[in-house]
Structure 1
Amino acid sequence: MLGRTAATPVNGHSANNNPNQLALPVNLPPGQQSEASIVHQHIQEISNKRISTLDYLRKAHEGRVYWFNTLLFDKSDLARMPYFDSRRLARRATNHLFLGLSLPSVIDVGSCTPLEFLRSLNILLSEYDAFQQLHAEHGSASSSLSRARLPQMFRRSAPGSKVRRTSNAAEVGYPHDGGDGGGANGTHNNSETTAGSTLGGGGGGGGGNGAAAGSAAATASAISLAASETELLPGEEYTHLLTPSIPFEPDYFETFATLCDVLIDTYQRLLTLVPTPRECAGNGVAELFTKADGKLRKIIIQGTVKEFEDASRQGVKTEVANVAKVVLGGLIST
């Protein structure tokens, strides 16, 4: 009878699977109770703060709110920011898309306990951070490994060479009807196939024409940007991060808004996994949450907030200067 009373289900999951968790509701010392309450309160406060911040950033990107009651940024204003040049936006949108595609697997699969959820989330964020360093927005990376290998990603493959990709989505849309026996080249990558079909076909049959191939590669450079830069380097493997090859450049603003929604769902999922302090007691939840939240703040929030702060500060200076001209002009004229 006592064992049945103690084995109270937590969030629909029986506590019999974890003997340590079985004793928490009954035999938790007062000191651990207060510590668990502090951790639970900390998770609740930080998660709600992050949810509000992400929602605010999403609205700011959509031009729906004034940035801290100072300036209203629309897409044209954002496009004029020095941080938002086209190439950086394309790279950043692709990175955000990969993170947004990978998060649902962590949220919905294998996250029956807070510990499992936070472990998977930390692994995913570590992989995403490593991917960003190897595939940087500026076309260069900080690590020596990426500096040595990243330039090879932008070279056209030699005739007969094979390109390693995470997934060949473009091969599904473009049948190999004459590309496999295409003249002297024999084997060609997906970007050349896309370029050949864009220029009226014949990309596979004209393998011996170097000038035509160069023109095709130049025409398809914008289309194949995302696909060419998401090729993984030798030995670059991920457990939770999905990096499919995409045949288009995702829109940055739509991708960022969707990523904010997914991150909000991530924090909300965590809140549902820790409804009471006993789920936060003595099992490493506090440490894992601090690490995951720090990575999310570093990867997503800090950079975006800094860009908006710099732009709003410059915009306010410009507005004040314009007002000063009007006021001083009136005083001088009188």
Structure 2
Amino acid sequence: MKNLRIAQVAPLWTRIPPTTYGGIELLMKLHIDELVARGHDVTLFASGDCFTSGKLHPVCELNLTELCERGEAYCFEYYASAAMAEVLARAGDFDVIHYHLSTAWLPLAAATSTPGLFTMHTSPHVDDEFVFRRWPQVAVNGISRSQMHASGTRLGRQFPVVYNGCDFGAYDPRFERGEYLAFLGRMSPEKNPLDAIRVARAVDMPIVLAGQPQNAKEQAYFSEQIQPLIDGEMVRWIGPVNHPQKNELLRHAAALLFPIQWDEPFGLVMIEAMACGTPVVAHRRGSVEEVIDDGVTGFHSGVIDALADLVPAALKLDRRQVRARAEARFSYQAMVDAYLEIYRGLQR
């Protein structure tokens, strides 16, 4: 099979690779590096502070998070539109264009004959379905079956699913049981660190929280609901973590708590914990049932109050098997294989 010329269009909010928070950007780094290693010609449309083994086409000088913090940018739409304008101006240079922007920009992708693929990193809503219906010639994929099921049913359309992948070689597994529970995610009601603390209390284990609020609403939640419970002993908060810190947090944890209160499209942190050999105890919403092999890599329940009852069983799981099963299902190489299959299908 011939090598492909592939454009990758980044969300622009965070540099690639990310320093702390940035799941999409981490996945793009792994994806692009593997494509280049396999001989494909990849051009990344992103902010100028990104590092990539492909060719970088800078859309703006810095990632938008930093630009906005400096007061040098205000509205995302201008920069996303610039990314679309620049990749479409070069559309003839590529065999396929892979968009990681919102599908609000899908109508523009329909204006070129170069095949395009939009990956849905969020849950689709009525506006997404409007553009899916109106421009069906632009391919769309999901990252879990649960994420795309309702839209697929309403539209009578099958959306391919590509599970997110993980670089298992970047995590140091620990096969001895840890002494604390871990929570890693935004400090938000949807991610639900409050119930993670309650579960830890119910099983009389310390918990270490990592992550931070991302906006004013989440800051208020954190200040009012979470901060008063942090005592530095049974409840610790270590803030945002970089990769080495994340690795240490997860590998030394007895289990990861994932008590989400929304329909998570995927939940990359679950497989990052599994890469460390750490089982996951989760609320059964969104993709949880697809990601966790119940009784092998963790446990899930449809009732948050029941999660504490699952912790003792999770602590008895074989941590070697946790990692092995997760690696068999969620390697980044398998993710790249699946995307290449879609790309080649678009060439026909």
Task: Please indicate, yes or no, whether the TM-score normalized by the shorter chain is above 0.5.
Answer: no
Q: What is the TM-score of this pair, normalised by structure 2?
A: 0.22
More helix by share: 1
- Structure 1-normalised TM-score? 0.23
Query: If you compute each CA radius of gyration, which structure gives the higher value, 1 or 2?
Result: 1
Give the number of the structure whose residues are more often strand, by fraction: 2
